[in-house]
């Protein structure tokens, strides 16, 4: 009997009781290699002594102070660190408790920015299909996952959804990656124009897509073209790096690899590495200045903004990443990890695509490789894979569902940055066995 309102109301998941490094142990003594870092959260693994010490010290000194009365040293230091390492042009960090909260704050900041500038007729957001920005109502409204949106659709503000950057399925055989990226940017421009001049607030996109269609890496030039389109129409660019940011792809922000800077960027997950619920919106100088010159007040706020223990954890995680050269490790070992995945699964009859960067990889499963036909959703391949992998002692993050009429089964891998090469190899070995067993049974 459970009184916890679990995600699945008819089954209770195993009870996690302890964790160390890349392993989690349950109440039955079963050990799991955490190759997805939960849902791309855990960057330093579990039980990192520096993070625990920083949290403990902060708790002893000051566990909580409401931000309508006080700022704190630790929030100031975290914001300094975030801005020191931020994409170009960012000047302030708004510190929240998670990804959806960061998205809500970014959407409202973008809207208030235009209200302050005397452009209240900008009311519309453009986002992408096959995207995920969180489960709160604003985040769902811009999110592009039909299954998650469906029951709540009547409650969601209208938004336009354009195509994601999904070359495996949507790049035409007669176009280069660059031409494909340009085509997508033109589609965005057409959507902005269709709303009418001065109506669109922002375009929001995950720099590298995560939890809806496997890892979706942008084609070269796509984001540069998107940035130009936004600039041409005075539309803000909000990048959601809740999942792909904070080092996951081998640079602190994935957009560094695209050679662009957004107006607002959201981070969470890897920011606190799972030690505390924490997220942030980094805001461009122009946004902060307009609000500061205007009303001087951001009409938003939550009880746990800038929570001191969450800030202490995030600061410690970020310092360890830099001190221990983990971005370089993620780049180098991530490259190897991708090769091992391709060696193990690249020729598998039910693996359609393997894509990713750094420690962020997605595998798309298909019933038929030649036609790219997905498995029948009734087979619940992704759910079976999750169960099978757990039986083998592996945590990976399979998901599926119908997106725009197309069912897909994907597996997301996002190991902690501290995973050794042996642990990465073991994850590949277990995953390959699981993919093989589950897809062959389903075929
Ligand atoms: N944005 C992206 C890209 C995400 O992947 C997620 C969560 O998976 C969110 C936002 C929402 O974050 P949270 O679950 O912390 O609210």
ipTM for the predicted complex = 0.99
**For the whole model, what pTM was predicted?**
0.98
Q: Whose alpha carbon is nearest atom 13 of ligand 1? A: 99
Q: What atom of ligand 1 comes closest to residue 211's alpha carbon?
A: 5
Residue 241 CB partners (closer than 8 Å, separation 6+): 206, 207, 253, 254, 255, 265, 266, 267
User: Which of 42, 142, 242, 254 for mutating ligand 1's site (highest number of atoms within 8 Å of CB)?
Assistant: 242
Where are the alpha helices (H) located in 324-355, listed in sequence order?
326-345
* pLDDT (0 to 100) of residue 183: 98
Give the Å distances, CA to CA, from 188 to 127, 144, 204.
9, 15, 11
Q: Whose alpha carbon is nearest atom 15 of ligand 1? A: 99
Q: Whose alpha carbon is nearest atom 2 of ligand 1? A: 133
Q: Give the Å distance between the CA of 39 and the centre of ligand 1.
A: 9
- 425 burial level (CB within 10 Å; 0-12, 13-18, 19+): middle
What does residue 192 show for φ and ψ, rounded to 5 degrees?
-65, -45
Give the Å distances, CA to CA, from 84 to 25, 46, 118, 438.
37, 26, 31, 46
* pLDDT (0 to 100) of residue 399: 83
Q: Whose alpha carbon is nearest atom 9 of ligand 1? A: 134
* pLDDT (0 to 100) of residue 186: 98
- Paired sense of beta strands 159-162 and 394-395, if any: unpaired
Consecutive sets of 10 residues in the chain, 443 residues long: mean pLDDT of each? 88 95 98 97 98 98 97 98 98 98 98 98 96 97 90 96 95 97 98 96 97 90 98 98 98 98 98 98 98 97 97 98 98 98 98 97 95 91 96 93 68 98 98 97 89
Side-chain half-sphere of 374: how many Cα atoms within 13 Å? Answer: 23
* pLDDT (0 to 100) of residue 398: 86
* pLDDT (0 to 100) of residue 165: 96
Q: Give the Å distance between the CA of 86 and the centre of ligand 1.
A: 19
Q: Is 213 in the pocket of ligand 1 (CB under 6 A)?
A: no
Give the Å distances, CA to CA, from 366 to 125, 385, 388.
33, 13, 18
Q: What atom of ligand 1 comes closest to residue 209's alpha carbon?
A: 3
Helix (H) or strand (E) holding 161: strand 159-162
């Amino acid at each position: 009997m459970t009184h916890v309102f679990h995600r699945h109301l008819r089954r209770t998941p195993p009870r996690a009781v302890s964790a160390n490094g890349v392993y989690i142990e349950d109440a039955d003594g079963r050990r799991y290699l955490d190759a997805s870092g939960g849902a791309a959260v855990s960057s330093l693994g579990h039980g990192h002594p520096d993070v625990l010490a920083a949290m403990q010290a902060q708790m002893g000194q000051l566990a909580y102070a409401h931000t309508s009365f006080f700022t704190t040293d630790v929030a100031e230091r975290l914001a300094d660190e975030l801005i020191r390492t931020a994409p170009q042009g960012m000047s302030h960090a708004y510190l929240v408790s998670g990804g959806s909260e960061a998205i809500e704050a970014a959407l409202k900041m973008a809207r208030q920015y235009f209200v302050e500038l005397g452009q209240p007729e900008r009311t519309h957001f453009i986002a992408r299909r096959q995207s995920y920005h969180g489960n709160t109502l604003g985040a769902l409204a811009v999110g592009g996952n039909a299954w998650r949106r469906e029951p709540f659709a009547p409650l969601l503000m209208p938004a336009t959804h354009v195509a994601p950057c999904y070359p495996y399925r949507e790049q035409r055989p007669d176009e280069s990656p660059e031409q494909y990226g340009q085509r997508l940017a033109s589609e965005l421009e057409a959507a902005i124009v269709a709303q009418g001049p001065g109506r669109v607030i922002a375009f929001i996109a995950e720099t590298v897509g995560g939890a809806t269609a496997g890892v979706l890496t942008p084609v070269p030039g796509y984001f540069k073209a998107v940035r130009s389109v936004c600039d041409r129409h005075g539309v803000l660019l909000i990048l959601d790096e809740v999942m792909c940011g904070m080092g996951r792809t081998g640079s602190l922000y994935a957009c560094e690899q695209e050679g662009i800077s957004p107006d607002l960027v959201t981070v969470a997950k890897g920011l606190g590495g799972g030690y505390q619920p924490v997220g942030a919106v980094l805001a461009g100088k122009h946004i902060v200045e307009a609000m500061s010159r205007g009303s001087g007040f951001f009409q938003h706020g939550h009880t746990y903004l800038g929570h001191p223990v969450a800030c202490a954890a995030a600061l410690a995680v970020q310092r360890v990443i830099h001190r221990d050269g983990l971005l370089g490790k993620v780049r180098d070992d991530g490259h190897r990890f991708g090769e091992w995945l391709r060696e193990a699964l690249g020729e598998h009859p039910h693996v359609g695509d393997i894509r990713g960067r750094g420690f962020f990889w997605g595998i798309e499963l298909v019933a038929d490789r030649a036609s790219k036909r997905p498995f029948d959703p009734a087979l619940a391949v992704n759910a079976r894979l999750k169960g099978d992998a757990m039986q083998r002692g592996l945590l990976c993050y399979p998901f599926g569902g119908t997106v725009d009429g197309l069912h897909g089964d994907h597996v997301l891998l996002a190991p902690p940055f501290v995973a050794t090469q042996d642990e990465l190899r073991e994850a590949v070995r277990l995953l390959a066995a699981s993919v093989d067993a589950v897809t062959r049974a389903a075929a």
